[in-house]
Amino acid sequence: MPRVSADESLGELPPFAELVLELTERIPPGRVLTYGDVAEYLAGEEDQVLPPGAVGRRVGGPRQVGRVMTLYGGSVPWWRVVRADGALLPGHELRALEHYREEGTPLRSVRGRGPARGSAAAEHLPRLDLSRARWDGR
């Protein structure tokens, strides 16, 4: 998925990236959070978890979470941070689906809906059942 892992990056990770990756590592197998869930969770924890000197700075939103996952997510279970529509990550559908099946992540059929926007995947691929798969953060 991502171009580089945290281990391969040059220098230190930005504080927000560290927070996103740490939270991603805490998501249990078989559970997921959306990009927006991650941003909301981190915003709620902002004063408690931001490094010294970073308190009071705005934590990123869903797009910034996605950017972190693109750049640094290779070293964490990236398939557990997902799109809000439950569609499998375009370009990585089969790899993600393999992980979801191994972990028992709840999926749902999408017959007749077609592939997710931006995806060249076959129409028959399932989507995540977010009502059952979403992690509550505890």
Give the pLDDT score at 12: 83
Query: Which tokens hold the place of 23?
Result: 């939270």
CB neighbourhood size of 73 (10 A): 26
Give the integer Cα–Cα distance in Å for 51 and 68: 17
Query: Which tokens hold the place of 76?
Result: 């964490």
3-state secondary structure of 13: coil
At 47-83, the pLDDT tens digits run 545 555 555 455 689 999 999 999 999 999 999 999 9
Give the pLDDT score at 2: 47
Longest alpha-carbon distance in the chain? 51
Give the pLDDT score at 51: 56
Give the pLDDT score at 6: 46
Q: Please give the average pLDDT of every successive group of 10 residues along the chain, which has 138 residues.
A: 49 88 97 96 69 58 95 96 92 94 93 56 80 93
